[in-house]
């Protein structure tokens, strides 16, 4: 199957700093990428949908100025958590797919801890 | 709007016993259905999917799920579980090709020796 690589797998940052998470499709061109967050023992909540070359579409309640998403190429999307706070600590997961394929492929996830 | 309900948050079973993880969905349009498995601190792996055609779908590791349109269900079953099946299982639905996934709350399957 197609491979999606997410980096880093784990990051610890200080409160007030920004963190960038990368999501790469390694063997296909991802026309659409999705970003999810998952709190412990909970399900995945969609944060935003990004299409290559256009602005991301954010779900209700997700602050677009805090969670900056860039999808500048067909193989890379980035999520930047700006001015991170401890409540932003979570597991962030990306997925990617190409047009016409209903199956999304998931990255390994990034454990963000803000101290 | 679509929604997905996984009726059991935790399912403890003994090794080699059968298991069923329940999933019900609601949607006013046709949907695609998926089961994913998540091991601790890892991303999601696709177990199986229903897009169209045969309502019974199977995975390579012995799991199967049946799409039941009248009951709006997509329950996951395995006739004999292994210790290695211990993980979190998520049912998900999308309403069109390339659409976003709506996830259920997850079911923690715990297989005991």
In sequence order, what DSSP letters do the residues of A35-93 get, joined into one string?
Answer: EEEE-TTS-EEEEEEEETTSPPEEPTT--TTTEEEEEEETTEEEEEE-S--GGG-EEEE
Average pLDDT of B2-15?
94
> Per residue, what are the HEC states of A81-101?
ECCCCHHHCEEEEEEEECCCC
Q: Is B91 helix (H, G, I), strand (E, B) or coil?
A: strand
Q: How far is CA A4 from the centre of its chain?
A: 12
pLDDT at residue B31 greater than cutoff 80: yes
Q: Which of A5-14, A40-49, B15-24, B75-84 has the lowest mean pLDDT?
A: A40-49
pLDDT at residue A67 greater than cutoff 90: yes
Higher pLDDT, A22 or B99: A22
pLDDT over 90 percentage in chain A: 78
pLDDT at residue A9 greater than cutoff 80: yes
Average pLDDT of A59-66?
95
In contact, A28 and A11? CB cutoff 8 Å: no
pLDDT at residue B8 greater than cutoff 90: yes
Pairing of strands A110-114, A10-13: parallel
Q: Measured between CB atoms, which of A6, A43, A107 is closest to B90?
A: A43
d(CA B82, CA B86): 8
At A8, is the pLDDT very low, low, confident or very high (cuts 50, 70, 90)? very high
Average pLDDT of A40-47?
90
Interface mutation vs chain A, best among B101, B104, B105, most A CBs within 10 Å = B101
- Longest CA span, chain A: 42
- CB-CB under 8 Å, B90 with A44: yes
pLDDT at residue B28 greater than cutoff 80: no
A91/chain B closest Cα distance in angstroms: 8
Buried/exposed A46-57: b ≥16 CB within 10 Å, e otherwise: bbbbbbbeeebe
At A61, is the pLDDT very low, low, confident or very high (cuts 50, 70, 90)? very high
d(CA A99, CA B5): 28
Q: Does B107 touch chain A (CB under 8 A)?
A: no
Q: Does B90 touch chain A (CB under 8 A)?
A: yes
d(CA B89, CA A14): 33
What pLDDT, on a 0 to 100 scale, did the predictor assign at position B98?
A: 62
Buried/exposed A78-109: b ≥16 CB within 10 Å, e otherwise: bbebeebeeebbbbbbbbbbbeeebbbbbbbb
What pLDDT, on a 0 to 100 scale, did the predictor assign at position B47?
A: 94
């Amino acid at each position: 199957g197609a491979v999606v690589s997410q980096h880093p797998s784990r990051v610890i940052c200080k409160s007030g700093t920004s963190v960038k998470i990368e999501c790469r499709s390694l063997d296909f061109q991802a026309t659409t990428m999705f970003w999810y967050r998952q709190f412990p023992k909970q399900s995945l909540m969609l944060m935003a949908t990004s299409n290559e070359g256009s602005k991301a579409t954010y779900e209700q309640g997700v602050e677009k100025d805090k969670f900056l998403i860039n999808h500048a190429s067909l193989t890379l999307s980035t999520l930047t958590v700006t001015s991170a706070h401890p409540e932003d600590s979570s597991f962030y997961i990306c997925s990617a797919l190409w047009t016409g394929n209903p199956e999304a492929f998931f990255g390994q996830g990034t454990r963000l801890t803000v101290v | 709007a679509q929604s997905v309900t996984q009726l059991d948050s935790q399912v403890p079973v003994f090794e080699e016993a059968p298991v069923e993880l329940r999933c019900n969905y609601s949607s006013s349009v046709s949907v695609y259905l998926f089961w994913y498995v998540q091991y601790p601190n890892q991303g999601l792996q696709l177990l199986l999917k229903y897009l169209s055609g045969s309502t019974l779908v199977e995975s390579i590791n012995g799991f199967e799920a049946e799409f039941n349109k009248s009951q709006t269900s997509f329950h996951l079953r395995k006739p004999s579980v292994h210790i290695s099946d211990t993980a979190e299982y998520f049912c998900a639905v999308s309403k069109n090709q390339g659409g976003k996934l709506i996830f259920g709350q997850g079911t923690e399957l715990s297989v005991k020796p």
